[in-house]
Structure 1
């Protein structure tokens, strides 16, 4: 199936961008300059941002062109890309160069209702560093659609509208004690025992939970690693425990409770924000458009993992949704692929949304 979306998606997927996204950014910049009359820039961080139309409010079509490292079978001199059975295969096809191509074509083809922005960030796979840098430089659209996957959540093949997603807070509990010879237990303070007391506290904490537009958003809390001790005959003086918390809008687990234990401290290593779209009109219009561009019956859904939508909502005060072609389980896999007909569907959805919103 040869279309403008497929052609651009193939070029993007074939361009390596796990170590250095510069070539993929240059491709996007060149394509936008050639195919649109927009103002286009590639900023000092490597983000590609284009603007066209005018108005009091702005809508941004947002993606990223960096990817995780490919599997050996996904690369040759560059990245391998293949079409078969109505799908596009290759690293980044689902996450998220396919939807990025659909956004670029919708940006080109639409007659926007206000200012329309196309933004492709770097470093999404490294904690959203490109998006955060752009926000620090003043990037703050009124509305945004992030093209991460939202297809197949309510039913197979249906492109839904994600009104919320979970965040991720990664933290470390450090327990300190006093070393001693293991034959003299009373001479030391066992850091592992203090760490396991902290683990018991975590096991009793409720996972964060909330609702967004009537949809339940359930977080989670899990101890994922424990490391302590240097020798079989030494009472350990230090032990660390890592904790993975999937956060929800407005809620966090009370992990600081572990610091009530003597010798125990808690520190946050990463905090990727969750997202909730508080604008009911924006969410309703997007769902109406999603219903009009497909035969299925899409729904408002919740994504389980963090995206750049969280940074936009938390740090730029942007009213944000997530709508994209990728299905659950496709991203970051050795057989990563995306449906070509769904890419075309998303192109239509983005175009109509740009012409109706903000």
Structure 2
């Protein structure tokens, strides 16, 4: 089975899917139709969804087949050509190297094989979304059109969180809200500064308001998940001798389940406008039985002792959780592997994920 998992991962990783994920979607759809008797659909966004089994409750194995832009070394001809027809995939020292190995086509390959082999306890779904790397557009599209599994295992990275050589079960992660705050004033010549209203001064007051806000925190599985507010960019003014009429800055906000910082209060200041540019929701699993069941399967699939952990960044699990799906994250990617020029994944950990997905698909939902 190892060679099958490695070969399937290699096949998926070799397909470029940073600008357009259609060919990778073609591969997934074709494989599912050939290798399974599942009901396979491909929606207008490009999401690939397959269903098998019956039952009152639905479990989904979820991933995405888009990736971020590769480095030149990850393209077959070693060029900067964004129209590359193939990505490089190398195997050495027990790892597969290439764009998408860790994030997250290795996990997709494991989920495909587990889905094919499963005789599920209820309805089992395989779902691979597009557009995760640009804010979860595929997941949102599917959810808006009725995609609503009761439970989901999302194959994003959860390896080496509690310690080395262990694949943990993440039961919560932060979200991200990105905002632009614009200060408006009235231009004037700097020699007659009192004739104008200085937008930079107003922006400074707004920055102070942001810095004074208390980000919320929540306790999850013995850990504290802490929010954060960070001013990240600022731009304003037109010339050294002109009182600026406009100044703009951005705020990166890491959100936690259930609470938000009162960032909207900056708009109470004179001359200040607040606009949300991106809002990726956080995730928290509130079904202890499901989290424990996945943890039990993960423990049986490895010699280490995995734990329930949290992740610092957003995934498609946030969109699913917001829509009512109980989610956990379990996947091979390790901290620092995704989006790198030497991205890689451990073959041993891929096997571990495959075995865990098999066990969860076979045993959940349980009769409760």
- Name the TM tier (shorter chain): over 0.9
Would you say the 8 A contact 2:221–2:309 is kept in 1?
Answer: no
Matched with 1:51 is: 51
Q: Does 1:238 align with 2:241?
A: no
Q: 1:242 is paired with a residue of what secondary structure?
A: strand
- Tell me the equivalent position of 2:299: 291
1:173 is matched with: 181
Instruction: Give the match for residue 324 of structure 1.
Output: 331
For 1:166-205, what aligned pairs fall within 5 Å after superposition?
Answer: 166-205=174-213
Say yes or no: does 1:269 pair with 2:280: no
- Quick one: distance in 2 between partners of 1:157 and 1:28? 29
Counterpart secondary structure, 2:303: coil
SS of equivalent to 1:344: helix
Give 3-state SS (helix, strand or coil) of 1:11's partner: helix
| Structure 1 position 214, deviation (Å) | 3.3
Please list the CA deviations of residues 97-139 of structure 1 after superposition, one character each: whole Å capped at 9, or x if unmatched: 0001000000011211000000000000111000110111110
* 1:31 aligned onto 2:12: no
Give how far 1:208 is off. Answer: 2.0
1:266-294 alpha-carbon deviations (Å, 9 max, x no partner) = 11111000000000000111111111110
Describe the shift of the 1:134–1:330 C-alpha distance in structure 2 as closer, same or farther (beyond 3 A): same
Specify every segment of 5 or more residues in structure 1 that has no aligned partner in the other structure, as ranges: none
Cα distance in structure 1, aligned partners of 2:296 and 2:214: 36
- 1:218-269 deviations in whole A, cap 9, x for unaligned? 1111000011001111100000110000000011111112122211111111
SS at match of 1:350: helix
Aligned twin of 1:335: 342
8 Å CA contact 2:48–2:128 kept in 1: the answer is: yes
Answer whether contact 2:215 2:228 (CA < 8 A) is retained: yes
1:351 equivalenced with 2:363 (yes/no):
no
The match for 2:125 among 89, 100, 117 is: 117
- The TM-score with structure 2 as length reference comes to 0.96
> Residue deviations 1:332-353, cap 9 Å, x none?
0000000001001000000100
Instruction: State how far apart, in whole Å, the 2-side matches of 1:214 and 1:151 are.
Output: 18
For the pair 1:18 / 2:26, whether they are aligned, the reply is no
Question: Which secondary structure state, in structure 2, belongs to the residue aligned with residue 184 of structure 1?
Answer: helix
Aligned match of 1:103 = 111
Count of aligned residue pairs for this structure pair: 357
Q: Secondary structure at the match of 1:134?
A: helix
Which deviates the most, 257-266 or 180-189? 257-266
What is the rounded CA distance, in whole Å, between the counterparts of 1:265 and 1:300 in structure 2?
Answer: 40
CA distance in 1, matches of 2:223, 2:120: 31
Question: Please, what TM-score do these two structures have when normalized by structure 1?
Answer: 0.98
Q: Give 1:118-267 correspondences, 5 Å limit.
A: 118-267=126-275
Unaligned stretches of 5+ in structure 2? 77-84
Q: How far has the Cα of 1:2 moved from its partner?
A: 5.0
Partner of 2:94: 86
Give 1:81 shift.
Answer: 0.4
Task: Report if aligned partners of 2:2, 2:351 keep a CA contact under 8 Å in 1.
Answer: no
Equivalent in the alignment of 1:63: 63
SS of the residue corresponding to residue 99 of structure 2 reads: coil
Consecutive aligned runs of 4 or more in structure 1 exceeding 3 Å deviation? none
RMSD: 1.0
Distance 1:218 1:75 in 2: 38
